[in-house]
Amino acid sequence: MMPPPITEHFEIALNTSAGQITTAVEVPTGFVPVTAIVPLIRRLGEEAQALEVARSVDAGQPPSCHKGCAACCRMLVPLSAPEAFALDDWVRSCSTEQQGRIAARFAETKSRLLSQGLWQRLSELCNSLEQPNDEALEVVNREYYALRLPCPFLEEEVCTIYEARPAACRELLVRSPPERCDDLINNRVDPISAPILVSTVLGLLWQELRKAPTRLIPLPVALDWANGHEQENQHTWKGVELLDRALDKTWRFLSQSMSRSGQDSIE
């Protein structure tokens, strides 16, 4: 039986637009892959957003999202490279039967996207040396959403990877009437802001670690991309180093975000 990894205890405090979050984390002292930091940064993101949710509830505008409400599960979900590797690791940890069901749903999604000429365009997003501009992304997002393809991890309108779901899924909360989500293109929805965009933070971390572009990986092609870059997922770094670098990206993101928010309020 393998001994448990040696960890180091840290107390983290972050100032966000909705208040301060404080949390305790245990970080491995040895060498770990980048996926080891993903759950921790997701947790920081969720704790920061919980402050925004509480503020919205106090204002009489609670989230309208609930279990079984899966309209947003037809949207194109972007992942960072560390999240794509973490998702692939999660699938590999599943039973053979479950992996077979997941593979079948991903194959069905790929077939549909190929028939619509979208698969190649989504794959190109993963390998682009430059971050695509917002206008180009909006076109792809609209074309994908028009297909109303359910997420490959959706079963009977329920997320089967809820605990391991991507950050973009966690960050999309609305307080507008649920029926507006039936058509997210033509209906105006009122989102609850996410103080920390975890995919952005993890993408910047990956860029620094690998001296590579900030990858934007659409969920339908994420497993294919992760399998094609499996060797990159074998690299390891000291756990404390990963934490320091990830927190640096988080602090920088929060600082820039609050600075922009302050400028907007002045204007």
Residue closest to 118 by CA, chosen among 137, 101, 140, 99: 140
Residue closest to 251 by CA, chosen among 2, 10, 6, 41: 41
> How far is the CA of 133 from the CAs of 66, 137, 165, 204, 244, in angstroms?
32, 6, 25, 17, 30
The pLDDT tens digits for 180-230 are 888 888 889 999 999 999 999 999 999 999 988 787 899 999 999 999 999
Q: Is residue 2 part of a domain?
A: no
User: First and final CA of the chain: distance in angstroms?
Assistant: 61
Q: Is residue 220 part of a domain?
A: yes
Q: Is residue 63 part of a domain?
A: yes
Q: Is residue 74 part of a domain?
A: yes
Is residue 265 predicted with pLDDT exceeding 50? no
The pLDDT tens digits for 83-103 are 999 999 999 999 999 999 999
Residues of the domain holding 217: 7-266
Q: Is residue 1 part of a domain?
A: no
Find residue 31's DSSP bridge partners. Answer: 238
Whether the CB-CB separation of 41 and 198 falls below 8 Å is answered with yes
Q: Residue 126 in 3-state DSSP?
A: helix
Q: Is residue 135 part of a domain?
A: yes
> How far is the CA of 158 from the CAs of 7, 68, 75, 152, 162, in angstroms?
35, 6, 15, 11, 9
User: For residue 133, what pLDDT band results from cuts at 50, 70 and 90?
Assistant: confident
Mean pLDDT along residues 72-77: 93
Mean pLDDT along residues 106-129: 93
Q: Is residue 82 part of a domain?
A: yes
Mean pLDDT of the chain: 90
Is residue 137 predicted with pLDDT exceeding 80? yes
H/E/C letters for each residue in 197-234? CHHHHHHHHHHHHHCCCCCCEEHHHHHHHHHHCHHHHH
* Burial zone of 116 (CB within 10 Å; 0-12 exposed, 13-18 middle, 19+ buried): middle
Residue closest to 49 by CA, chosen among 65, 36, 35, 37: 65
- Into how many domains does the chain fold? 1
pLDDT above 70 covers what percent of the chain? 96
